[in-house]
Amino acid sequence: MLEVIILAAGRGTRMKSSTPKVLHPLAGRPMVMRVIDTARQLKAERIHVVVGHGAEQVSAAIAAPDVTTYVQAEQLGTGHAALQAAPSCLPQSTVLVLYGDVPLLTTEVLSEVVNAASHSPVLLAATLDNPIGYGRVIRDSNGCFAKVVEQKDASPDELAVAEVNTGVLAAQASELHRWLLQVTNDNVQGEFYLPDVLGLALDDGREVSVVVTDRSSDIAGVNDRAQLEELERAYQNRQAKALMADGVRVMDANRLDIRGSLSCGVDVVLDVNVVIEGDVVIGDGAIIEANCVLKNCSIGEDAVIHAFSHVDGAVVGPQCQIGPYARLRPGAELGEQAKVGNFVEVKNSVLGPGAKANHLAYVGDASVGADANIGAGTITCNYDGANKHRTELGKNVFIGSNSTLVAPLKVEDDGFVAAGSTVTATVGSAQLAVGRAKQRNIDGWKRPVKPKK
Ligand code: UD1
Ligand code: CA
């Protein structure tokens, strides 16, 4: 049985933030949640998270039936942190220790670590071009593991070693617990170091395995905002590459941000500065132009979302044309070939196939029939200050420009509303509604004159 301990109590001082470090999002999800996700993918039976700095906030954010939290009141080191949770693990379990601020480790390499731990304690190492800051893995003359030395405790020779401790470690629970109790804080930082358990394992006559990963970007930890930005770009790049491999045209992998999940058909085009949030599905051949934000929505095949549009909680049908500068809000549902043009806002409304609102309109709490045309400047007055009311427009309805549709209101199929009307009562099928003052022309009109200076 596998149990995972995640260390997440550290202060994260260098983030200079009032938010605990592990709650800072990477690709839209708090780092510690990504580590918990990874533990779940590994099929961990139980997940133990050690919290400390911002304990209440972190505990609230990660609360789940399979997650237990432990409060490390004082941050006395990684060994001390692991000791908060280790006694709660079942003795025969394999325990994998992960860090809440190392969010990109993949399950492939971690499975290797877990498998190796059935024989002996395991450390995950990596060889880095720049090992500064990491604990170094020191090997004996036979190339076997000897110890981990922290940067601050290392001799010049040891500092020259490029093989580093990623922080990931696995061992049998009862052994890990026993060794953790023996760890001392006799070092430069006066901390209880988790990797010291491996030296104690050797003292016990146990072998220590070292799994070495060559995916150095995966093992990176986040200590400051610059490292967080680096990891964010690395992760976004990974996602962009995967999309391209699946047949998506990504105009610039460095200018695409997926903060959630994106599923794309083939020949989708994602232009620069597209931001994806939540769950988004895009059908074959759809084009998302520059600077669009798509959140929890689905975009039909061959639809075009023109530049600077914001789509949130909407369903966009095949071959629709949206924007530029359109805003689709939750509950907007657009049938095939519908068009929503610049500066049009649509909320909680169904537009039938071929329906159009091409310029400057507000369509809220409405149903709009197939091929209906909503003129520029039209608004549905859906709110009376207390309640929302619906507007129902039938098939092939024509709403002239600058009309005010006061809900609740119905315009039946083929109904026609003259431009500039305020419409408050039902318009029957194929009727013309003119809801405006009749024009008067006044003869002999004297223009106002400017006063003489
Ligand atoms: C640690 C390792 C180092 C390794 C590096 C990899 C030790 C002593 N050193 O160093 O060998 O190369 O990670 O990134 O283990 N934490 C607690 N409670 C504490 C202290 C830390 O929960 O009392 C948590 C932190 O929140 C963090 C993790 O443990 O998630 C690592 O702590 P950090 O102080 O960042 O360790 P490093 O100095 O980076
Ligand atoms: Ca660290």
Residue 418 belongs to a domain with what CATH number?
2.160.10.10
Distant-in-sequence contacts of 256-265, Cβ < 8 A, 24+ apart: 257/27, 258/27, 258/28, 259/25, 259/27, 259/28, 259/29, 260/27, 260/28, 260/295, 260/296, 265/301
pTM of the model: 0.91
* Token pair in block for residue 152: 């601050």
Q: Which residues are catalytic?
A: 359
Q: Please compute, for residue 109, the number of CA atoms within 13 A of its CA located in the half-sphere on the CB side.
A: 21
Residues belonging to the chain: 453
Domain presence at residue 243: no
- Model pLDDT, residue 237: 96
Same domain, 212 and 256: no
Which regions of the chain are under pLDDT 70? none
Q: How far is the CA of 134 from the centre of ligand 2 (A)?
A: 8
What number of other Cβ atoms are within 10 A of residue 409's Cβ?
Answer: 21
Among 193, 29, 167, 27, which Cα is nearest to 102's?
Answer: 167
| d(C-alpha 374, C-alpha 345), whole Å | 12
Same domain, 190 and 253: no
Q: How many domains does the chain have?
A: 2
Same domain, 199 and 344: no
- Model pLDDT, residue 268: 98
Q: Residue 303 is part of which domain span? A: 248-433
Among 316, 280, 323, which Cα is nearest to 301's?
Answer: 316
CA dist 309 → 119, 275, 295, 352, 365 (Å): 56, 11, 11, 20, 20
- With a 6 Å cutoff on the Cβ, whether 165 touches ligand 1 is yes
Same domain, 196 and 264: no
Distant-in-sequence contacts of 130-139, Cβ < 8 A, 24+ apart: 131/161, 131/162, 131/163, 131/164, 133/223, 134/164, 134/165, 135/164, 135/165, 135/167, 135/193, 135/195, 136/161, 136/163, 136/164, 136/165, 137/161, 137/163, 137/164, 137/165, 137/210, 139/163
Q: How far is the CA of 133 from the centre of ligand 2 (A)?
A: 8
Same domain, 292 and 384: yes
- With a 6 Å cutoff on the Cβ, whether 283 touches ligand 1 is no
Ligand 1 atom 25, closest CA:
10
Q: Please compute, for residue 38, the number of CA atoms within 13 A of its CA located in the half-sphere on the CB side.
A: 29
